[in-house]
Amino acid sequence: MPLTSHPARRHLLAVAAALLSLATVPLAGAQTTEIKPAKRAEGSWPSKPIRIIVAFPPGGLTDAYARLYAEHLTAKFGVPAVVENRPGAGAVIAIDAVAKAPPDGYTLLMTTSGTVWQNRVLYTKLPYNLDKDLVPVAFFPSGPLVLGVPEKLGIRSYRELVAHAKTNPSNMGSYAPGAYPQMVADQMNRNDGTQLQTINYKGESPMWVDLAGGQLTAAIGSFQSFNTVASRGVKAIGVTGSYRSPKLPDVPTLVEQGVAGRLVQLEGGLPLMAPAGTPEAVLQALSQVVVEGANTARAAQIRESFAIPNKPKNLADTRADWARDVPVWIKLAVDLGIKLD
């Protein structure tokens, strides 16, 4: 959705730059030497640059974590790790590139959970098989997501949003087709009798800019991205998940506000993935860097900025959570009946 004014474009660039700086500007006393270099045999993996393909543009949590992880990989193994942003087509472009890459540990994917969980049922046909072509390496929690509205609408709660949407043309901003905000909007339409239209964006930054500009009725996304426009007349009226955001302790969860169903209770996140068939030893090594990196000062700063209380888990725990949670998300998408093609 195009921005409507040059000031908005300038603000979007400022937002993206601010978010990107979280992953590119070192903190005092937080050096990559916090990651202990690995000893590896000559000719063993890795022996060439590692690519991390990000399904979203620069700015936002997915990109921030990918860039931090790239630094940790370089510090650990002594080879360049580079981030390639390939947004578009609801993350299909980025996922397809990784799904078709050799399973050798040199091409990885960072994306949002919805693009590799729900998309297998949201799209009738994809150029890859999400059940067979990719495997998880680690999972970065995203923390509670913020439901925000323009302050000028006078909406103070989820129920007031529903009431407004029943009597006014309304829409919901989503950072990707089929992502969590679109699922929430569809659930509202089914359960509460609203007719919210979903407006899909390539990432969070332009979505929040349009909400601040009054082109959207509501939007859902990370705390940090919400916070870049909070001073421009955007109000938080709820958060997703089972606990309140550490940064917004006075904003009740949607569960506390009486919203029914599993959807608003669940916490998505950012999967790090590799092509299926990647050797187990390589997957273990890649995952171990995530675990070690989670204890660095830089990683703590990102979690603080985005109001994320939890650290990513190791490979075994990631697989266990994946086996437990993915079927729930898929069933929710099936029950909602959303189709994106």
- Residue 41 is predicted with a pLDDT of 57
* CATH class of the structural domain 15-142+268-336: alpha beta
- Residue 23 is predicted with a pLDDT of 42
- Residue 2 is predicted with a pLDDT of 37
Q: Which two structure tokens, joined as six digits, stand for 64?
A: 């921030």
Strand arrangement, sheet containing 218-221: 197-200, 171-174, 218-221, 146-150, 234-239
3-class secondary structure per residue, the chain: CCCCCHHHHHHHHHHHHHHHHHHHCCCCCCCHHHCCCCCCCCCCCCCCCEEEEECCCCCCHHHHHHHHHHHHHHHHHCCCEEEEECCCHHHHHHHHHHHCCCCCCCEEEECCHHHHCCHHHHCCCCCCCCCCCEEEEEEEECCCCEEEEEHHHCCCCHHHHHHHHHHCCCEEEECCCCCHHHHHHHHHHHHHCCCCEEEECCCHHHHHHHHHCCCCCEEEECHHHHHCCHHHCEEEEEECCCCCCCCCCCCCECCCCCCCCCHHHCCCEEEEEEECCCCHHHHHHHHHHHHHHCCCHHHHHHHHHCCCCCCCCCHHHHHHHHHHHHHHHHHHHHHHCCCCC
- Residue 291 is predicted with a pLDDT of 96
Could you list the pLDDT tens digit for every one of the 341 residues in the chain? Answer: 333 344 444 444 444 444 444 444 443 333 444 788 887 655 699 999 999 999 988 877 899 999 999 999 999 999 999 999 999 888 999 999 999 999 999 999 999 988 899 888 888 889 999 999 999 999 999 899 999 999 999 999 999 999 999 999 999 999 888 889 999 999 999 999 999 999 999 888 899 999 999 999 999 998 988 999 999 999 999 999 999 999 999 999 999 999 988 889 988 889 999 999 999 999 999 999 999 999 999 999 999 988 899 999 999 999 999 999 899 888 888 887 777 77
- Residue 123 is predicted with a pLDDT of 86
CA distances (Å), 334 to each of 117, 119, 173, 316, 330, in order? 11, 10, 21, 28, 6
Has this prediction a pTM greater than 0.85? no
Q: Does CATH number 3.40.50.620 belong to domain 146-265?
A: no
Q: Tell me whether the CATH fold assigned to 15-142+268-336 matches the one assigned to 146-265.
A: yes
Q: Domain limits of the chain?
A: 15-142+268-336, 146-265
- Calculated CA dihedral for residues 325, 66, 71, 23, nearest 10 degrees: -120
